[in-house]
A and B are shown apart, each in its own frame.
Chain A
Amino acid sequence: MSESLPSGLPSTVRDEEDLARFLFSRRDLSGHIVKHGVFMPRHGETSVFRHGKAPGETLWELGRLAAGGRSLRGAAMFKARSVRAAALDVNPDEPPPRHAVIVGWATISSHPELARSQDKEKAMKLAESAEAIRYTS
C-alpha cells in the first residue's frame, strides 16, 4: 500500500490518473491540438497537476495558482499512462497540493542538441494523446 501525501493523494501516480499541464500562451495550441513544446522540460522536469477535467472550478483554481503573473489560457489533459508510454515517468512533488513532475528526460550534457531532439520526440508522443481545454474566466 502506498502512503498518502498532504493532499490525501497516494504517493505513487497510477496509470489511470488524470493529469493537467496548464497553458499560458496562445502559441501552446494549434487549433485544438496541443503542441509538443508545452511538455518540453525546464531544468530536467515538467510540472503537472494530478487533476481531471472535473470539477472545473478546482482545476482552474490550481491553474490560477500555477499562473503567477501569467495569463491562464487552458490546460492539456492526459493520463499518466501516456507519460509512461512516451518512455517518461511521473512522480508526486508536493507542495503545492496535487503537484507532480514528469521526469526521465534526456541528459546528455556533452550533446545538448541531441538530448533536445530526443526530448522533442518524447514530448510529441505525449502531446499526441493530450486533449486541450480552454479557460474561460
Chain B
Amino acid sequence: MPLLSERAATVAAGYSSLLPATHARSAISQEARLVQERASAVMESGERSIALFGGKSKELRELWAVFDESREEGADESDAISYHALDIASDFIRALPDDVPLPELAGEPGGYVSMDWIMGRSRVFSVSVGPRQRLPYAWLDGADQGHAVAFFDRSSVPPRILDGIRRTVGVGKPPFRAS
C-alpha cells in the first residue's frame, strides 16, 4: 500500500511544472491567458484527485489492517476475511462518491467487513461486505429502523445503500429554513 501514496506524491510533483503558468501576471496575450486558465483548471482537478485519493488510500490501508486483524493468532478461524472479500470491500470503498464520508471499518463474525457510518447511538447505517456481491445492510435512525440486501456490481454503490448513507450522514438534505 505505500505504493499508492508514492504514486500520489509523484502525481503532485508533476503538477508543480504548471505553477509558473498559473501565477502569470496581467500583461499577457489572450493565448497566454487561455493557457493560464487551462493550467489552473488542471491543477484544481489534480489537487482534488490527490485529496480524494489520499483519503481513500488511508481507508484502504485501514481495510488491510482489519484484514490482518481477522487472521491474527487467537482470532476465531471462521472470522478470517478472505482475499475475495477484501477485493469486494476495496471496490466498494473506491466506488463511494466524493460527497459521502468514508466509513469506520471493523471485522464482523463470519469473515465480513463492517462499514459503519455512525452519527450517534441512534443514528447508524452499516453495510457488511463479505465473499459475495449481495450486501446485507441495516440502519437505525431514531424510531426508524430496517434492513435489506442489495447487489453490488463492483463498480457503483447500489442506489438504496447510497441513499441510506446520505440520509444518515445528512448529505444532500435540503438546508433547514426557519419559518
Contacts and interface: CB of A to CB of B under 8 A. Distances in A.
* Co-assembled chains A and B: yes
B73 interface: yes
B140 A121 contact: yes
B93 to A, nearest CB: 16
B172 interface: no
Nearest to B149: A113
A65 B9 CA distance: 47
A113 B75 CA distance: 23
Contacts of A35: 104, 106, 114, 116, 118
B106 A124 contact: no
A125 B138 CA distance: 11
Interface residues of B, number: 39
Interface string A99-124: 00000000000010110111011001
The main secondary structure of chain A at its interface with chain B is helix
Contact of B137 (A40, A68, A111, A117): A117
Interface stretch (B11-19, B35-43, B50-58, B119-127): B119-127
B145 A42 contact: no
A43 B79 CA distance: 11
A127 interface: yes
B138 A68 contact: no
| B66, B69, B121, B128 — most chain A CB neighbours (10 Å) | B121
B69 A25 contact: yes
B76 A25 contact: no
B73 A117 contact: no
29 contacts: A25-B69, A25-B107, A27-B104, A27-B105, A27-B107, A35-B104, A36-B114, A37-B108, A37-B116, A42-B76, A42-B110, A113-B130, A113-B134, A113-B149, A114-B149, A116-B128, A117-B136, A117-B138, A117-B149, A118-B138, A118-B147, A120-B138, A121-B139, A121-B146, A124-B124, A124-B126, A125-B140, A127-B121, A128-B121
